[in-house]
Structure 1
Amino acid sequence: MNHMIRSFVLAAVLGTALPAMAEVVVVVNPSAPQASMTRDEVAQYFLGKSTALAPVDQPESAPIRAEFYKKVADKDMSQVKALWSKLVFTGKATMPKEVGGSADVRRAVAANPKAIGYMEKSAVDATVKVIYTAP
């Protein structure tokens, strides 16, 4: 019985220690003409299928990056990496600019009217415009 109680307490502590996934939003410069985009439209930029906007990526090690690609492109990180390797190797696209985190995404998008990025909703301010919220 004592073992069962300890197991329950341990599970409860570990469950509360795990971070909740942040709400992911896609942002552009406030001067960009887009008011909103669909999931597929967003995916086009981050999968190298459209070059009208320059994608700004989070670090490969950031949990939000894996969450973003899963929710928007329905791909895991190994699939994304393989896709980009092929596009870069064949000269069809250039890798998205990678920055240090959501604050850096916000700065990069605010500074470039042709940039598109993703970040935690809690990091949004008036320097960027939200055009898509990942479910």
Structure 2
Amino acid sequence: MKQLIKASIGAAVLALSLPAMAEIVVVVNPKAAESSLTKDQVAQFFLGKSTAMTPVDQPDGTPARAEFYKKVTDKDASQVKAVWSKLVFTGKATMPKEVGDSAAVKKAVAADPKGIGYIEKSAVDASVKVVYSAS
């Protein structure tokens, strides 16, 4: 019986120590012509390789941002910062607008016909249109 209790406690501790990753989706203004985008297309906007859409970023250090960049660009936060630093320094691009959270991303994207951002899937509503799922 003691063994079973120890095993149960061990499993519970392990489950609690694993990070719970929310599914991240890429959203655009509902009036945008795009109905879906590929991973590469999304990466181009968020790495400054295309200016056809205006990227809206979540704060540095947030789980959503880390997960988004890892899954979509295959880069970590420091690599993404290096890419943007070079682009900004050479005058080739302007850093993405950074807002506070998924609600702020939704609001910014809903207000900008060329806006593109990423939020937790659970935060999606009619104010934005999902064009890519980073699951």
TM-score between the two structures when normalised by the length of structure 2: 0.91
Distance in 1, Cα, partners of 2:41 & 2:81? 20
Q: Which residue of structure 1 aligns with residue 63 of structure 2?
A: 63
Structure 1: state its 5+ residue gaps.
none
User: Once the 2 structures are TM-superposed, how far is the Cα of residue 20 of structure 1 from its aligned partner?
Assistant: 1.2
Distance in 1, Cα, partners of 2:59 & 2:10? 32
User: Once the 2 structures are TM-superposed, how far is the Cα of residue 61 of structure 1 from its aligned partner?
Assistant: 1.8
Q: Which residue of structure 2 aligns with residue 51 of structure 1?
A: 51
Distance in 2, Cα, partners of 1:30 & 1:97? 19
Distance in 1, Cα, partners of 2:130 & 2:8? 41
* Secondary structure of 2:51's aligned partner: coil
Q: Which residue of structure 1 aligns with residue 81 of structure 2?
A: 81
Q: Which residue of structure 2 aligns with residue 38 of structure 1?
A: 38
Q: Which residue of structure 2 aligns with residue 93 of structure 1?
A: 93
Distance in 1, Cα, partners of 2:17 & 2:113? 39
TM-score between the two structures when normalised by the length of structure 1: 0.91
Distance in 1, Cα, partners of 2:19 & 2:125? 23
Distance in 1, Cα, partners of 2:17 & 2:122? 20
Q: Which residue of structure 1 aligns with residue 134 of structure 2?
A: 134
Distance in 2, Cα, partners of 1:116 & 1:24? 13
Distance in 2, Cα, partners of 1:56 & 1:102? 10
Q: Which residue of structure 2 aligns with residue 108 of structure 1?
A: 108
User: Once the 2 structures are TM-superposed, how far is the Cα of residue 121 of structure 1 from its aligned partner?
Assistant: 0.2
Distance in 2, Cα, partners of 1:126 & 1:61? 28
Distance in 1, Cα, partners of 2:75 & 2:107? 26
For residues 73-116 of structure 1, what are the alpha-carbon distances to aligned partners after superposition, in whole Å with 9 as ceiling and x for unaligned?
00011100101000000000000000000000000000110100
* Secondary structure of 2:32's aligned partner: coil
Q: Give the RMSD, CA atoms, in angstroms.
A: 2.0
